[in-house]
Structure 1
Amino acid sequence: MLHPLPKLVMGLIWILASILIFDLGFQLITIALAAGTLIVLERRSPFLVLALMVPFALFGFGFFTTSVLFRQDSPIALQMAAETPFGASAVSAGLILFFRAIACGMVSAVFVLTTDPGALIKALMVHWRLPPSVGFALFQALNLVPDLGRQMQDTRLARAMRRGRPPRRSPGPAELVSLIVPLLAYAIRRAGRSALAMEARGLTPGGKRTITNAPMLKQHDAVFAILSASALVFAIFVSGSISIG
């Protein structure tokens, strides 16, 4: 299993490259590499990968329509877009912005789907000196999100038992509104317990403490960083996007 921090650094570098390099070929290569990583290496369903692209595509479609209909491009963007074989510069720039949003989103998806959140927090505490109070709060948030889902289901089941009929498969708008107050009260109780737990653990700044099962950097993490950097250089070389916009 790879260390979370090299993956985080390389993911940020890929996202930064997608933002700075105004080239359609580079964006397409980034999307293909991210999708191939999920499908081939992580054995994720191609339908899941396509579903992950949908929200980023919707976000990118806003860039596309804005670029085409309400265009006010910088000279460097027009010059770079004019070199792409897609006709008008506005459409070319819009397509690059559209696929840039998908590329950045897919790189983020690869990191999220291949990284254990608990291991990431421990790595940040050990290697990047994340304060223990912040780390413990993040752990509480990781536990609170699924607990809220279970609490919502328990509340819906209790209400259905009182009414004498099974609950709906998914709550309607009115039921969702009625669940806000119970879930908010549950979250406040959990927050109070978390505060007491943090006080009991003595999470004061500057104190020495031991972090168990924290991921450590190994040789294969360096190999991953080298391969990822090489793939980035390869993508830049193949797409011919040496100019930065």
Structure 2
Amino acid sequence: MIHSLNPTIKAITVILPAILLSFSFDIITPAIMFIYILILTFFFSKLNIKKWLFYFIPMSFFALGLAWMTMLYTDDKYATGPIFFSFFSFDIRMGSIIVSMSLALRSLCFIGLSLLFAFTTDPTKFMLSLMQQVRLSPKLTYGILAGYRFVPTFKHELDLLKKAHRVRGLGRAKGWRNRVEHTRQYFIPLLAGAIRKAERVAIAMESKGFTGSKDRTYYTVMKIKATDYLFFIIMLIILIIAYYVSYRLGTLNIFGHRIMP
């Protein structure tokens, strides 16, 4: 399952194909990759499909909107072929439709890869993997982890501040000026609390012997297994197959340059 893969290898497996996929301006290449991403999401992960759709559908509207604007304002280099239809003063050519559909499919691939990584990766294990495999500074990684752990407490403290203001008769702010003033009243106590928490965490880490040295032992050891390399290799193979299929069909387009077999 994807949940058990090494987070660093998983991140590389997600980022590298996304970068390579951005070179393609045809439809076939991102379509094949998107189908493979859906197979990974639905059959090789323990994701809650309803939760995945809750995030994917709003983001897909952004991708469709981006594709629509691209279709209307396509560069002359890509707006080739016969006029497919006209929209007000815009003449939509076949090349514009292909480029916009390619952009939409690539955006969906990026969204799918991002959600796949975010929902199958434990943040703590990801930070530990960055320390152990990438040799990232423990000071930076533990600082990020501490900040990440503080996020839920900030929401709780903000709710307490709002209730305290209501008890004192302040109520809800009306008008943008009053809302800005209320935001300032919330911001200063939250900032002061964050500083106190950061100081307490720093003192606690120093008292436990934390020096920030990279030569340290870990309670949880992150290892790279054969399945991690297999996941990375298969992802690249699928991408190569997608490019090859598009090339054989005569649709491969790299930055506006059609590559024919």
TM range (shorter): 0.7 to 0.9
Q: Which of 118, 121, 124 is the equivalent residue of 1:118?
A: 124
Q: Which has the larger radius of gyration?
A: 2
What is residue 227 of structure 1 aligned with on the other side?
Answer: 234
In structure 2, give the amino acid aligned to 1:39.
F
Q: Which one-letter code corresponds to 2:17 in the other structure?
A: W
Find the aligned partners of 2:98 and 2:68 in 1 and give their Cα distance: 12
Q: Tell me if the contact between 1:7 and 1:111 (Cα under 8 Å) persists in the aligned partners.
A: yes
Corresponding residue of 1:244: 254
Contact 1:64–1:98 (CA<8 Å) still a contact in 2? yes
CA RMSD in angstroms comes to 3.3
Counterpart of 1:20 in 2: which secondary structure? Answer: coil
Report the Cα distance in structure 2 between the residues aligned to 1:207 and 1:112, rounded to whole angstroms: 26
Using the size of structure 2 for normalisation, the TM-score is 0.73
> Which is worse superposed, 134-143 or 24-33?
24-33
Conserved 8 A contact 2:138-2:212:
yes
Q: For residues 203 and 243 of structure 1, what CA distance do their matches in structure 2 show?
A: 53
Q: Which residue of 2 is the match for residue 139 of structure 1? A: 145
What amino acid maps onto 1:189 in structure 2?
R
Higher percent of residues as helix = 1
In 1, Cα distance between equivalents of 2:32 and 2:188? 47
Q: Is the 8 A contact 1:119 1:214 kept in 2?
A: no
Q: Deviations over 1:145-166 (max 9, x none)?
A: 1222233344455667x479xx
- Note the residue ranges of structure 1 that are not aligned, 5 or more in a row: 165-172
Higher fraction of strand: 2
Structure 1 201/226 Cα, relative in aligned 2: closer, same or farther at 3 Å? Answer: same
Give the AA of the match of 2:37.
A
Distance 1:70 1:220 in 2: 44
Q: Which amino acid aligns with 2:38?
A: A
- 1:1-245 equivalences in 2 (<5 Å): 1-73=4-76, 75=77, 77-78=78-79, 88-156=94-162, 162=167, 177=183, 179-200=186-207, 204=211, 208-240=215-247, 242-245=252-255
How far apart, CA to CA, are the structure 2 residues paired with 1:215 and 1:20? 33
Decide whether aligned partners of structure 1 residues 151 and 30 sit closer, same or farther in structure 2, where only a CA change above 3 A counts. farther
Aligned residues: 231
List 4+ stretches of structure 1 deviating above 6 A.
none
CA shift, 1:103, in A, is 1.4
Matched-pair identity in %: 24
Instruction: Render the CA deviation track for 1:158-192: whole Å, top value 9, x for unaligned.
Output: 667x479xxxxxxxx95983643433332222233
Q: Does the CA contact (< 8 Å) of 1:35 and 1:49 recur in 2?
A: no
**SS in structure 1 at match of 2:22:** helix
State the one-letter code of the partner of 1:215. M
Instruction: Report the TM-score when normalising by structure 1.
Output: 0.77
What SS does the aligned partner of 1:72 have? coil
Amino acid at match of 2:254: I
The answer to which of 234-243 and 4-13 deviates more is 234-243
